[in-house]
């Protein structure tokens, strides 16, 4: 079943709402993609307006900012993830998670499932 961003067809009281229109392609959302640590794999999706969106499926390195300079470093493991504590065991990377890199601990600042890039800042 498709993920829809339309309002629910049920009122808070339990009654039904009359539909004003059918579902359109612009109303559909997408499933969560779990970004894992591994050899780099990407997926390119076509969006509305003939645009393209790049998604990461697996990644092995991250762009980390240290003292105003950007370094590309290898990801070792996921240390903390506030989105879901179980993501730490499965090494799933989301925005805001803290990872261990060769330079030290870093916090992910990009949205890898939406932007297709992996950026982070070093934590002191």
Domain ranges of the chain: 30-122
Q: What is the structure's pLDDT at 73? A: 97
Q: What percent of the chain has pLDDT over 90?
A: 70
Average pLDDT over residues 11-27: 92
Chain-centre distance for alpha carbon 60: 15
Beta strands in the chain (DSSP E): 36-37, 41-46, 52-59, 61-66, 69-80, 98-101, 105-108, 119-122
Least confident range from 16-25, 57-66, 70-79, 80-89: namely 16-25
More confident: 101 or 47: 101
Structure-block tokens of residue 106: 């870093």
CB 107 within 8 A of CB 96: yes
Q: What is the structure's pLDDT at 48? A: 86
- Confidence category of residue 37, pLDDT binned at 50, 70, 90: very high
Tell me the fold of 30-122.
3.10.290
Pairing outcome for strands 105-108 and 36-37: unpaired
């Amino acid at each position: 079943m498709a993920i829809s961003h339309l309002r629910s067809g049920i009122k808070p009281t339990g009654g039904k709402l009359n539909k004003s229109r059918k579902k359109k392609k612009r109303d559909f959302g997408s499933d969560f993609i779990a970004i894992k640590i591994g050899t780099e794999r990407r997926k390119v999706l076509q969006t509305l307006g003939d645009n393209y969106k790049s998604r990461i499926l697996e990644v092995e390195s991250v762009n980390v900012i240290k003292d105003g300079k950007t370094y590309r470093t290898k990801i070792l493991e996921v240390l903390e993830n506030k989105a879901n504590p179980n993501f730490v065991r499965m090494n799933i990377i989301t925005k805001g998670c803290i990872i261990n890199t060769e330079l030290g601990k870093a916090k992910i600042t990009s949205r890898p499932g939406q932007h297709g890039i992996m950026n982070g800042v070093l934590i002191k």
